[in-house]
Chain A
Amino acid sequence: MVATSAESSPAVAGHELKINLRDPVVAGVLAWLIPGAGHWYQGRRTKAILFFLCIYATFFYGLWLGGGRVVYASWGPTSDEKRLPYLCQIGTGAVALPALWQAQRYSDGKFAQLMHEKADPKNDQRSFSEWFMAPPLPAVEHGPGGGEGRDEIDIINYRLNRRFELGTVYTMVAGLLNLLVIFDALGGPAYGAASARSKPPGSPGSTEATKPPAS
């Protein structure tokens, strides 16, 4: 049990621990936008820094592993065009949002055609803002005799090898971890003030939760 506001503050394990969650909804939204921001807003500064560093380090390391191409939004009609990992990656909040903007830009036929002309696999002439977190283009490399070529996703996979999958996993895990952080900002820690060295209150064998109140 954890005190989630200034009004209720049960004593656990002999200690008085108040966690003022302020406005949990605002904290939850902030926690989604920037990992740790919700905790910073609640005054839980140590945890804010801890979450910020851990989640952003995981996310950006994954992004670096995947050459900036592992986070993209794509929701085409075929299963190949559906980028399901993005549903996890969006959990990191603001840093994954450029992918939505890129998906919107690339959905415009004229812009996609222009990018297609620039995206030569041997000499990609797109600027950083044009390729970063952009959905892969279809058939950028022409086959022999002008036949069907390779899709950009195949070329990216070939170039990055297993780093593409590793980068995807890292960025997905970062997003999923931020979900835990959002829940913590919304409702406080799962075990509250209970010590890690003792059993959590309410768990079988725990004496803390069943102890009668001192008269």
Chain B
Amino acid sequence: MNFFAPLLATRLNELWYALPLIVAISVVYSGTRYERTDDILVGTFRSLAWIVTFMAIILAVLWLVGLMV
């Protein structure tokens, strides 16, 4: 069995569509939390990191589940 088969099955190319969405969500979310521009910038990167990390964890879990079945 191909080790990467479950990962490929997720059609990874489609994940690129999530990137602009994540950026927009991070900027607007952070913008509604803080008032100063530098705080918004820091908050944006923080949200971005959180979302990407969360998605990566979910992807890893799904990948492992895919390997087991």
Is chain A's binding surface mostly helix, strand, loop or mixed? Answer: helix
Interface centre among A61, A183, A191 (most CB of B within 10 A): A191
Taking a contact as CB atoms closer than 8 A, the residue among B25, B31, B35, B40 that contacts A17 in the complex is: B35
A200's nearest neighbour on chain B, judged by CB, is B33
Q: A2-B35, A189-B35, A191-B33 are in contact. Are A170 and B27 (CB under 8 A)?
A: no
Residues of A within 8 A of B40 (CB): 47, 50, 196
A167's nearest neighbour on chain B, judged by CB, is B17
CB distance from B39 to the nearest CB of A (A): 4
Residues of B within 8 A of A162 (CB): 14
Interface string of B25-52 (1 = CB under 8 A from A): 1011111111111111011001000000
Q: Contact at A51–B35, with CB atoms within 8 Å?
A: no
- In the A-B complex, list the 4 residue pairs whose CB atoms are closest, starting with the nearest: A196-B39, A196-B42, A184-B32, A196-B43
Complex CA gap A183/B36 in Å reads 17
Complex CA gap A189/B29 in Å reads 10
Taking a contact as CB atoms closer than 8 A, the residue among B21, B27, B36 that contacts A50 in the complex is: B27
The interface size of chain B toward A, counting residues with CB under 8 Å, comes to: 23
CB distance from A170 to the nearest CB of B (A): 7
Complex CA gap A57/B43 in Å reads 20
| Number of A-B contacts defined by CB within 8 Å | 75
CB distance from B24 to the nearest CB of A (A): 5
Q: Contact at B28–A181, with CB atoms within 8 Å?
A: yes
Q: Contact at A190–B24, with CB atoms within 8 Å?
A: no
CB distance from B2 to the nearest CB of A (A): 24
A17's nearest neighbour on chain B, judged by CB, is B35
Interface centre among A170, A180, A194, A196 (most CB of B within 10 A): A196
Residues of A within 8 A of B36 (CB): 17, 193, 195
CB distance from A94 to the nearest CB of B (A): 18
Any chain B CB within 8 A of the CB of A153? no
Q: A173-B21, A196-B43 are in contact. Are A55 and B28 (CB under 8 A)?
A: yes
Q: A50-B27, A181-B28, A189-B32 are in contact. Are A170 and B21 (CB under 8 A)?
A: yes
Complex CA gap A58/B21 in Å reads 7
Q: Contact at B24–A57, with CB atoms within 8 Å?
A: yes
Interface string of A28-52 (1 = CB under 8 A from B): 0000000000000000101100110
Any chain B CB within 8 A of the CB of A177? yes
